[in-house]
A = this chain, B = another copy of it.
Amino acid sequence: MKKFGLIMIYLMWSLSVAWAGDEASAVTSNKTAIDLVQSHADYVWTLVAAVFVFFMQAGFAMVEAGFTRAKNAVNIMMKNLMDFSMGSIVYWAVGFGLMFGVSKTGFFGTSGFFLSDFKVGGDPWVLAFWMFQVVFAATAATIVSGAMAERTKFSGYLLYSIFITGLIYPVFGSWAWGSLFNGSGWLEGLGFIDFAGSTVVHSVGGWAALAGAIVLGPRLGKYTKEGKVKPILGHNIPLAAIGVFILWLGWFGFNPGSTTAASKDIAMIFVNTNLSAAAGAIIAMLVSWIKFGKPEVGMSLNGALAGLVGITAGCANVTPTSSIVIGAIAGIIVVFSVLFFDKIKIDDPVGAISVHGVCGAWGTLAAGIFNMGGMSLKIMSVQLIGIVSCFVWTFPLAYLLFKLIDVTIGLRVSREEEMEGLDATEHGGNAYPDFTTINHGTPGILSGPGNPNHDPVPSYASGKLMKQI
């Protein structure tokens, strides 16, 4: 009887333990399942954010085309299509590996070229991460395009675009954002704060743009011999404005997407991004109103972009109220910076150097100043080191690159080509063949309705060329 009792007890115990065991594994498998669902949400968020950032390519194309002349609009579309297309291939082959591959030195990565880290059947996170990063890489190249608009040879553009996406941007990126795998960048190691790339993306683009604008020289007719600025007007302000709305939208992927995780943190980043852009637009408008007597559209639009660039570094570690201050200051800076570069005769048709270079530096400083965790001399020093090292790496290298292109295949089109417009001379086309346009702003060319100076027939279909087919 006692034996029976003990056996019973043992059986009952075994049973309950077995059940508990089953449950334990069920609980563990639930934990795994929860992690899996979270990771699915991470993939969705990161890739949807990548879509928003991708759309910035269209935004940049519209801003650049809108702020420049009709005779160069096809060229601008080609540049923006190609810097993303070539950038995608180059970043797949080289850039991503340099930026996020295993980094032993902290100065560049040495693995992951050609997406070789991705094994079929393996973890595809590297692919999601690559997709988010490639749209960033292309942004850096596109920024440069704006400052060099209306006078750069297309072949020269393609070449420098490859070097920026394949070398200049990813190497600096590896310093600040380290490796996806082993190791980390030296700037990251110091505690550099640049959450979404005020310095990493925008200042790199801005300083390369500065080098390009200097090497190229100003557009014909922009500065008179007496030292006056002769404005060259954009041809489609609504296009530029819609472009800015699209860029603002894209920044809702750029900044909160930089979490690369579906988390609650994205909320504050959204709010900060929006408030800074709003403050930048308002303040730049007011400054232009005070300074020029009228609320100027180009300054207001660039003010929004300045606010967006300004909040990019600190979007995850400053408060919404600080964001407004950061954006407002960016809105002041951008107006004076645009005027400054015009004064020293560096011709930047869209204001890219001011918006991305200068406000990128401001945003990086601001991320330290308004840091929620407190500002310290150490933090500010590191922020300064980051800003300076970005300039020291990017500007001379880009300058050298442009000079090399200039003396080899040539960086700038001829005087005649520039006057006629790059659309006709570089692409054999015309952006608006149905409309009469005024070829204003360039000396020595007939102004008036119609632009009879080029064959309006796209090369692929022109009679002469069709014979070859």
**A47 within 8 A of partner (CB):** yes
Q: Are B40 and A264 in contact (CB under 8 A)?
A: yes
Interface string of A414-431 (1 = CB under 8 A from B): 000000000000111111
Interface string of A321-346 (1 = CB under 8 A from B): 10010000000000100110011000
Interface string of A225-254 (1 = CB under 8 A from B): 000110101111111011011101100110
**A37 within 8 A of partner (CB):** yes
**A54 within 8 A of partner (CB):** yes
| Stretch from A117-125, A171-179, A209-217, A362-370 forming part of the interface with B | A117-125
In the complex, besides A47-B256, A77-B237, A92-B275, 8 extra interface pairs with C-beta distance below 8 angstroms are A37-B37, A77-B241, A87-B278, A120-B319, A127-B270, A233-B433, A291-B468, A292-B468
Residues of B within 8 Å of A444, CB to CB, are none
Supply 9 A–B pairs (Cβ within 8 Å), ascending by A.
A43-B264, A61-B242, A65-B238, A92-B324, A115-B321, A233-B430, A236-B432, A236-B434, A293-B428
Please name the residue on chain B nearest to A57 by beta carbon: B245
Q: Which of B34, B57, B266, B461 contacts A43 (CB 8 A)?
A: B266
Identical subunits present: 3
Interface string of A5-40 (1 = CB under 8 A from B): 110110011011101100110110011011001111
Q: How distant is the Cα of A120 from the Cα of B322 in the complex, in angstroms?
A: 13
* A121: min CB distance to chain B, Å: 9
Residues of B within 8 Å of A469, CB to CB, are 291, 339, 343
Q: How distant is the Cα of A375 from the Cα of B52 in the complex, in angstroms?
A: 36
* A351: min CB distance to chain B, Å: 11
Residues of B within 8 Å of A468, CB to CB, are 291-292
**A268 within 8 A of partner (CB):** yes
**A163 within 8 A of partner (CB):** no
**A186 within 8 A of partner (CB):** no
Q: Are B33 and A33 in contact (CB under 8 A)?
A: no
Q: Are B320 and A154 in contact (CB under 8 A)?
A: no
**A62 within 8 A of partner (CB):** yes
* A268: min CB distance to chain B, Å: 5
Q: Are A295 and B426 in contact (CB under 8 A)?
A: yes
Residues of B within 8 Å of A52, CB to CB, are 51
**A405 within 8 A of partner (CB):** no
Q: Are A131 and B77 in contact (CB under 8 A)?
A: no
Given A43-B267, A296-B429, are A239 and B241 also a contact pair (CB < 8 Å)? Answer: no
**A167 within 8 A of partner (CB):** no
